[in-house]
Amino acid sequence: MLPNPVSRALRILALALALPAAWLAGCGGSAHHDTGSLPQPAAPAPRAEAASLTLSSPAFASGGAIPGRFTCGGADVSPPLGWSSAPAGTGSLAVVMVDLDTHPQFVHWVLAGLPPKARSLVAGARPPGAIDGRNSFGTTGYRGPCPPPGAGAHRYEIALYALPGRPRLPAGFAFGQLSGALGGALAVARLQGRFGR
């Protein structure tokens, strides 16, 4: 005896509705837990801000105007810096300078591999053994503030990171190759300055 056509149609319809529901239940969770494509911060925050680590420059006060010598309108050399002793366990120091008023932040300077006992940088100098990274201009080493004319003063931040080890980096390394190590810093000190054209 042939099955009732109406009941057969109902069974097919029920099966058709059940299959997509089962598929969605099995795949829906994975989409929400996949964080591999999430954007990563340009400069990860260190584990702790160290009150004992301070950074300054004899060329300008914190929050003050950066002299033209250290910008694209002058000699375009890195400013002199001085800092307090790094915390115990520091294996190396790194310096990063970014423009806080660009999105994403524009990297002007990345310097890694400074010895942990170093206490200063002379203007325009790179200590022996230190490694220059690539800036957002696409060149290696320091490139000073250079905001668009008439855009007003931009804020620039120089950060000194005390790292527990010495990252293995090639000359001209990309900032992303160092950013992971910055997130594990033992301490950080920051200095801000302003410049406009």
Measured between its terminal Cα atoms, the distance across the chain in Å is 92
On whether residue 37 sits in a domain, the answer given is no
On whether residue 70 sits in a domain, the answer given is yes
Q: How many independent structural domains does the chain possess? A: 1
Distance CA 117, CA 165 (A): 13
On whether residue 17 sits in a domain, the answer given is no
Distances (CA, A) of 173 to 46, 92, 136, 153: 20, 16, 12, 29
Q: What's the domain range around 127?
A: 55-195
The single-letter DSSP state of residue 151 is S
Distance CA 127, CA 141 (A): 12
On whether residue 22 sits in a domain, the answer given is no
> HEC profile for 8-74?
HHHHHHHHHHHHHHHHHHHHHHHHHHCCCCCCCCCCCCCCCCCCCCCEECCCCCCCCECCHHHCCCC
Please report, for the domain that includes residue 155, its CATH number.
3.90.280.10
User: Which one-letter amino acid corresponds to residue 54?
Assistant: T
Question: What mean pLDDT is reported for the chain?
Answer: 81
On whether residue 2 sits in a domain, the answer given is no
On whether residue 131 sits in a domain, the answer given is yes
pLDDT digits (tens, 9 = 90+) for 24-62: 333 333 222 222 222 233 444 444 444 389 999 999 999
For residue 131, count other CB atoms closer than 10 A to its CB: 22
On whether residue 39 sits in a domain, the answer given is no
On whether residue 157 sits in a domain, the answer given is yes
Name the pTM for this structure. 0.75
Evaluate the CA torsion angle 125, 128, 130, 135 in order and state its sign: positive
* Side-by-side strand order, sheet with 55-56: 55-56, 81-83, 120-121
Predicted confidence (pLDDT) at residue 191 exceeds the cutoff of 70: yes
pLDDT digits (tens, 9 = 90+) for 65-111: 999 999 999 999 999 999 999 999 999 999 999 999 999 999 999 99
pLDDT digits (tens, 9 = 90+) for 122-171: 999 998 899 999 999 999 999 999 999 998 999 999 999 999 999 999 99
